[in-house]
Chain A
């Protein structure tokens, strides 16, 4: 083997960043939207088994785009960290900030170590508090940067287009139905057209502070989504009107406990 050519650190980092960014942009977007009772995650994901959004702990959820095997690894490590901390101290001592910090350090170390390929992932770690202003969404990028996001956040796929749509249509204090409608319309939006994404191809989960259970994470099954989204026309510019008090009484498939209706 001949001696390696000199590569400037700037170039090395740039190459690694380009590599990671390319991998992340390949998939579909994931959006996180704050609404009155918590944080909603939505993604176009036809697979019912390979999740992009998952539960980490009582009030903490995880969403990711990029390489499945890499973010799945990070997710499991996060669950282990949270459960370990909750078991050795108390459930309240598990915080989103601590978890985001651990992810940031891990991703940062992997990104800057020459021996390893950088992770092609981007993550959201969200934590809900007692009230909406206490809710946190952290964005973690492949190089270990952490950003504190407010109102909504988009990653992966055509993130700019989706962000632009949400900037225009997002409003504070939305109900769950409104937030869902807006998020799903944003996912289907592109410069050329507005698609209607079938409910079966959506992966939607919420951190809902109105849940009576200690664990606030809950998935919304396609049957529930169908009902909540109501009639959607192709140019789904406006969020479908609130379905009122007739919030779904629970997953028809019986898989998940029912989601408490939003307080109106």
Chain B
């Protein structure tokens, strides 16, 4: 910037959306404004893998494994894929890591920008819709293999409960009840969640269920990283309640992960869900 003055456009009343402001003032900074040459680009950049989210009475949590892959290679074993997007929400990313992290950064700024300019936060649905719009802008790149599929979770202060939204590449948003998982290992994680999830889990139990689900995802999906016992690298878990959100202390996660691993030493397939409805036979 050569002129130290505030540019005239900055002083104009107008949009409260940072993304819209960026589109007008510095469109080259928007992730969606990049033109790609034709062809598949999916193997060019690291991909993030599995994210699980679940609600529990009084809150919601998001957990993500730590692996990023590039084709058959492990691109990173300690990547962070769960981000706080504001005080009461967080997003976990699956898909092309670079684009997804940039998208989350834009989304974080978007929420904070609105909050500062308007003096109030967006409603939870408002936030979810803004994320939709940002993902929709990435559709062209998604069709060339650079898809971004976040899982968005947060505590809705109006509803007084945790909520989870999943997205498709066209920006479609779908509210999930109870739990959900996205990414390459999501099928296995969801299978585990189906058997382990209850609507009355305590926060600590929910953390354990998330770790079990990620363990199962890593067990069957090569792109999902399991707990790295040698390096002490464990999933990142973000918990949001009415008091706000915070990343769970790595020691706490490590302890919970150690217990899960210890359990798996005896039963490698994880806890056994009770067979109910057996009487109906």
Closest 10 CB pairs of A and B: A77-B10, A105-B5, A105-B4, A106-B6, A77-B6, A77-B11, A79-B116, A106-B5, A80-B10, A87-B109
Instruction: Among B116, B119, B157, B246, find the residue whose CB has the most chain A CB atoms closer than 10 A.
Output: B116
Asked whether, in the complex, the Cβ of B4 is within 8 Å of the Cβ of A101, the reply is yes
Q: What's the nearest-Cβ distance from chain A to residue B104, in Å? A: 12
A73 at interface by CB-CB < 8 Å: yes
Q: What's the nearest-Cβ distance from chain A to residue B122, in Å? A: 15
B232 at interface by CB-CB < 8 Å: no
What are 23 A-B contacts defined by CB distance under 8 Å?
A56-B116, A73-B13, A76-B11, A77-B6, A77-B10, A77-B11, A79-B113, A79-B117, A80-B10, A83-B109, A84-B21, A84-B25, A86-B109, A87-B22, A87-B105, A88-B26, A102-B5, A102-B6, A105-B4, A106-B6, A213-B87, A257-B87, A257-B243
Which of B1-52 touch A at CB < 8 Å? 3-6, 10-11, 13, 18, 21-22, 25-26, 29
Apart from the given pairs A86-B109, A88-B26, A106-B5, 12 other A-B contacts in the complex at a CB distance below 8 Å: A56-B116, A76-B11, A76-B13, A77-B6, A80-B18, A81-B10, A83-B116, A87-B106, A102-B4, A102-B5, A105-B6, A257-B244
- List residues of chain A with CB under 8 Å of any chain B CB: 49, 51, 54-56, 73-74, 76-81, 83-84, 86-88, 101-103, 105-106, 109, 212-213, 215, 254, 257
Q: Which residue of A lies closest to B4 (CB)?
A: A105
Asked whether, in the complex, the Cβ of B6 is within 8 Å of the Cβ of A103, the reply is yes
B112 at interface by CB-CB < 8 Å: yes
Hey, which chain B residues are within 8 Å of A83, CB to CB? 18, 109, 112-113, 116
Hey, which chain B residues are within 8 Å of A77, CB to CB? 6, 10-11
Hey, which chain A residues are within 8 Å of B25, CB to CB? 84
- List residues of chain B with CB under 8 Å of any chain A CB: 3-6, 10-11, 13, 18, 21-22, 25-26, 29, 87, 105-106, 109, 112-113, 116-117, 119, 157, 242-244, 246
Asked whether, in the complex, the Cβ of A76 is within 8 Å of the Cβ of B117, the reply is yes
A119 to B145, CA, bound (A): 52
Asked whether, in the complex, the Cβ of B11 is within 8 Å of the Cβ of A74, the reply is yes
Given known contacts A81-B6, A83-B18, A102-B4, A55 and B13 CB-to-CB distance under 8 angstroms: no
Asked whether, in the complex, the Cβ of A84 is within 8 Å of the Cβ of B26, the reply is yes
Q: Which residue of B lies closest to A109 (CB)?
A: B5
Instruction: Among A77, A105, A212, find the residue whose CB has the most chain B CB atoms closer than 10 A.
Output: A77
Asked whether, in the complex, the Cβ of B18 is within 8 Å of the Cβ of A87, the reply is yes
A56 to B6, CA, bound (A): 15
Hey, which chain B residues are within 8 Å of A55, CB to CB? 116
Q: What's the nearest-Cβ distance from chain B to residue A170, in Å? A: 30
A84 to B22, CA, bound (A): 8
A106 to B26, CA, bound (A): 21
Q: Which residue of B lies closest to A217 (CB)?
A: B116
Q: Which residue of A lies closest to B157 (CB)?
A: A254
Hey, which chain A residues are within 8 Å of B6, CB to CB? 74, 77-78, 81, 102-103, 105-106
Q: Which residue of B lies closest to A214 (CB)?
A: B84
Hey, which chain A residues are within 8 Å of B26, CB to CB? 84, 88
Q: What's the nearest-Cβ distance from chain B to residue A106, in Å? A: 5
Q: What's the nearest-Cβ distance from chain B to residue A142, in Å? A: 15
A56 to B113, CA, bound (A): 9
